[in-house]
Amino acid sequence: MISATPSVFDASLSRSGDVGIESFVDLHAPSVDYTYYGAGKVALRDGLAGLVEPGENVLVPAYLSPAVVEPLHDLGLESRFYAIKETLEPDFTDLERRMDDDTVAVMSVNYFGFPQPGLETFASLTDEYDCYHIDDNAHAPLSVDGETLLGTAGDLGVTTLRKLLPVPDGAVLYCRDEAVREAFEPSSLAGVSDRVAAADCRYVATSVAETVLGTSRSLHRSVEALLSDGTDDPSSVDPGSRYEATKAPMSRFSKAVADAADPGAIRSARRENYRAWQRALAGRDDVTIVYDRLPEGISPYEFPVRADEPDAFLAELEDCGVIGAHTWPILRQSVYGNEEYDIANRLSEELVVLPVHQGIETAAIEAAGDGLRR
């Protein structure tokens, strides 16, 4: 069975303790300041807090999870969505049209672990308009693009460890620009919690249960529901409540896992699994691979494809034991169905992401591929 997330019992958590996320960041971004948070959204809020005034606006891509703009609203800022192209590159004409004297920042997003196409154009645009560039790197904590650790390409950036490691929370705020560093004042939500919380225990219990029951899809689902912290409950889907629920420092448990993780092993495993999906789906006319190339240094978050018939494809995947695939993302209400953002809407329906995480044996993807070819 191929699940959506890795388990805390994965071999890619080193026993020696001489690796960890921090040494990776120190190696690839030695001159960038970083601070831990429980969530990328809260990191973003703290990173911007000293730089903005209520009433200013921030440009963000329309193709985005709905809660990501909540920290902007928390600071009294207006979020403005810009259109994107089929390649996931910003539609710079649309973006520029929406900028004005009150634009304080523009956000790029490195989707699925890959640098957003057009990233270099952001720097010239934000220079021209004298505003900040936010490098949203929630998906790609270990991706290095040439010499640049993704997330550190902007004036400030965020990355989400929860999307990489088997942890209940965890994120990093990067402050690269000097003005950003000077204005930054960590709130009480910054850093790592000094105690182990009930949520940590629940998370480990889920991981244990999944490891023990991992071969049964129905058991897996019912255990998940039993131990769930309510995130599947429709009442907690509201983006505002989602954001509020993440207002806590990073848990001690997550920090311990981040310190024990082997970034090199994780990145290699994800890359190998990415290539296995490439081979498995190469012959399918009804499925288009989003990124044909996997450049050196990239640590993919998922394997995104565009499916002609997403529901049928997802059902087929499930029949082959792949339960962690899904379309992405659910769009913000003001974007959903809005024809100004037709490509974002189309992508959110057609784009299916397949898991590549380090907890998956490449052979399992190859076996699923055999099933998909039949």
Ligand X SMILES: Cc1ncc(COP(=O)(O)O)c(C=O)c1O
Residues forming the site for ligand X (CB under 6 A): 39-41, 64-65, 68, 109, 136, 138, 160, 162, 171, 246
- The answer for residues whose C-beta is within 8 angstroms of residue 96's C-beta and 6 or more apart is 125
Q: How far is the CB of 127 from ligand X (least distance, A)?
A: 24
Residue nearer to ligand X on the CB measure, 7 or 65: 65
Smallest distance, ligand X to C-beta of residue 157, A = 11
Nearer to ligand X, 51 or 164 (CB): 164
CB of 112 to ligand X, least distance (A): 9
What dihedral do alpha carbons 90, 172, 325, 12 form, nearest 10°?
A: 130
Q: Nearer to ligand X by C-beta: 61 or 310?
A: 61
Nearer to ligand X, 40 or 118 (CB): 40
**Residue 185 burial by Cβ neighbours in a 10 Å radius (0-12, 13-18, 19+):** exposed
- 36 with 191: CB under 8 angstroms? yes
Identify the burial level of 38 via C-beta atoms within 10 angstroms of its C-beta, where 0-12 means exposed, 13-18 middle and 19 or more buried. Answer: buried
Rounded CA-CA distance 71/244 in Å is 9
Residue placing its CB nearer to ligand X in the complex, 207 or 246: 246
Contact 257, 13 (CB under 8 A): yes
Least spacing, CB of residue 160 vs ligand X, in Å: 4
Q: With respect to ligand X, which residue has the nearer C-beta, 57 or 116? A: 116
Smallest distance, ligand X to C-beta of residue 64, A: 6
State the nearest-atom distance from the C-beta of 21 to ligand X, in Å: 14
Instruction: Report the candidate in 186, 227, 223, 179 with the shortest Cα–Cα distance to residue 203.
Output: 227
DSSP of 252-297: HHHHHHHHHB-HHHHHHHHHHHHHHHHHHHTT-TTEEES-S---TT
Sorted by sequence, the CB contacts under 8 Å of residue 3 that are 6+ apart come out as: 210, 214, 220, 323, 324, 355, 359, 360
Nearer CB in complex with ligand X: 34/320: 34
Would you call 179 helix, strand, or coil by DSSP? helix
In whole angstroms, how close is the CB of 44 to ligand X at the nearest point? 7
Min dist CB 211 to ligand X, Å, is: 24
- The type of residue at 293 is R
Question: Is residue 296 a contact partner of residue 54, using CB atoms and an 8 Å limit?
Answer: no
> Nearest-CB residue to ligand X?
40
**Which C-beta is closer to ligand X: that of 64 or that of 144?**
64
